[in-house]
Amino acid sequence: MLRLAAAVAAKDIRLELRSKTALLSALVFVALVLVVFNFARDPTSVTAADLAPSVLWVTFAFGGTVALTRSFTIEREHSALDGMLLAPVSRSSIFLGKYLANLAFVGLVEAVTLPLVVLFFNVDLGHALAGIILVAVLATLGFVAIGTIFSAMVVKTRFAELMLPVLLLPFMVPPLMAAAQATTRLLGGRPLSELLGWLRLLGLYDIVFVSLSLLVFPAVVDE
Amino acid sequence: MSADFAAARSIIRRGAWVTGLALAGLAGVYVMALQYTPIEARQGLAQKIFYIHAPAAWSALLSFSLVGLAGGLYLLLKDPRVDRFAACSAEVGVAFSAVMLTTGPIWGKPIWGTWWTWDSRLTLTLFLFLLFVGYLVLRAALHDREERARFSAVVGIMGLVLVPFIHLSVYLFRTLHPRPILMKPSAPSMPPEMLRTLLTSFGIATLLFIGFVTMRYGIALAHDLAEAHADD
Query: Tens of pLDDT along A89-136?
Result: 888 888 999 999 999 999 998 998 888 888 888 777 777 888 889 999
Q: Amino acid letter at B80?
A: P
**Higher model confidence: residue B167 or residue B213?**
B213
pLDDT category, B94, cuts 50, 70, 90? very high
Nearest residue, CB atoms, B141 vs list A157, A174, A177? A157
Taking 80 as the threshold, does the pLDDT of residue A187 lie above it? yes
User: Using CA atoms, how far apart are residues A72 and A221, in angstroms rounded to an integer?
Assistant: 11
pLDDT at B2: 76
Question: Distance (Å) from the C-alpha of residue B161 to the closest C-alpha of chain A?
Answer: 8
Q: Amino acid letter at A160?
A: A
pLDDT at B174: 57
Question: Distance (Å) from the C-alpha of residue A82 to the closest C-alpha of chain B?
Answer: 15
User: Using CA atoms, how far apart are residues A6 and A10, in angstroms rounded to an integer?
Assistant: 6
pLDDT at B73: 94
Taking 90 as the threshold, does the pLDDT of residue A2 lie above it? no
Q: Which residues of chain A from 91 to 130 reach within 8 Å of chain B, CB to CB? A: none
Flag whether residue A188 sits within 8 Å of chain B, measured between CB atoms.
no
Q: Which residues pair with B40 in a beta bridge?
A: B44
Inter-chain contact A156–B151, Cβ cutoff 8 Å? yes
Interface of B with A (CB under 8 A): 75, 120, 123-124, 127-128, 130-131, 134-135, 137-138, 141-142, 144, 147, 150-151, 153-155, 157-159, 161-162, 165-166, 168-169, 172-173
Under a CB-based contact definition with an 8 Å cutoff, are residues A144 and A65 in contact? no
Most confident of A30-34, A158-162, B113-117: A30-34
pLDDT at A5: 85
Question: Distance (Å) from the C-alpha of residue A17 to the closest C-alpha of chain B?
Answer: 31
| B126-164: pLDDT as tens digits | 878 988 899 999 999 888 888 999 999 999 999 989 878
Inter-chain contact B123–A173, Cβ cutoff 8 Å? yes
- Chain B environment of A198 (Cβ under 8 Å): 172
Question: Distance (Å) from the C-alpha of residue A173 to the closest C-alpha of chain B?
Answer: 8
pLDDT category, B82, cuts 50, 70, 90? very high
User: Using CA atoms, how far apart are residues A67 and A59, in angstroms rounded to an integer?
Assistant: 12
pLDDT at B74: 94
Quick one: which of B47, B51, B50 has its CA closest to B25? B51
Question: Distance (Å) from the C-alpha of residue B23 to the closest C-alpha of chain A?
Answer: 33
- Chain B environment of A153 (Cβ under 8 Å): 138, 151, 154-155
Q: Amino acid letter at B179?
A: R
How crowded is residue A128: how many other Cβ atoms within 10 Å of its Cβ? 17
User: Using CA atoms, how far apart are residues A15 and A134, in angstroms rounded to an integer?
Assistant: 29
- Chain A environment of B94 (Cβ under 8 Å): none
Weakest-pLDDT range from A51-55, A100-104, B80-84, B113-117: B113-117
Per-residue pLDDT, averaged over B35-45, amounts to: 73
Taking 70 as the threshold, does the pLDDT of residue A215 lie above it? yes
pLDDT at A183: 87
Long-range CB contacts (< 8 A, 24+ apart) of B163-168?
Answer: B163/B61, B163/B64, B163/B65, B163/B68, B163/B128, B165/A174, B165/A201, B165/A204, B165/A205, B165/A208, B166/A174, B166/B121, B166/B124, B166/B125, B166/B128, B168/A174, B168/A201, B168/A204
Sketch out chain B's domains with CATH numbers: 2-231 (1.20.120)
User: Which of A144, A153, A201 should we substitute to test contact with B (largest number of B Cβ atoms within 10 Å)?
Assistant: A153
Nearest residue, CB atoms, B130 vs list A150, A170, A220? A170
Chain A residue at shortest CA distance from B144: A156
Inter-chain contact B158–A178, Cβ cutoff 8 Å? no
Inter-chain contact B162–A174, Cβ cutoff 8 Å? yes
Chain A residue at shortest CA distance from B159: A171
**Mean pLDDT of all residues in chain A?**
85
Chain A residue at shortest CA distance from B128: A170
pLDDT at A67: 82
User: Using CA atoms, how far apart are residues A1 and A94, in angstroms rounded to an integer?
Assistant: 9
Chain A residue at shortest CA distance from B154: A216
pTM assigned to the model: 0.84
Chain B residue at shortest CA distance from A202: B165
ipTM score for this prediction: 0.85
Taking 80 as the threshold, does the pLDDT of residue B30 lie above it? yes
pLDDT at A9: 86
pLDDT at B41: 66
Under a CB-based contact definition with an 8 Å cutoff, are residues B7 and B81 in contact? no
- Chain A environment of B75 (Cβ under 8 Å): 216, 219
Between CA A85 and CA A189, with CA A137 as vertex, the angle to 5 degrees is 170
pLDDT at B173: 67
User: Using CA atoms, how far apart are residues B139 and B98, in angstroms rounded to an integer?
Assistant: 20
User: Using CA atoms, how far apart are residues B12 and B106, in angstroms rounded to an integer?
Assistant: 33
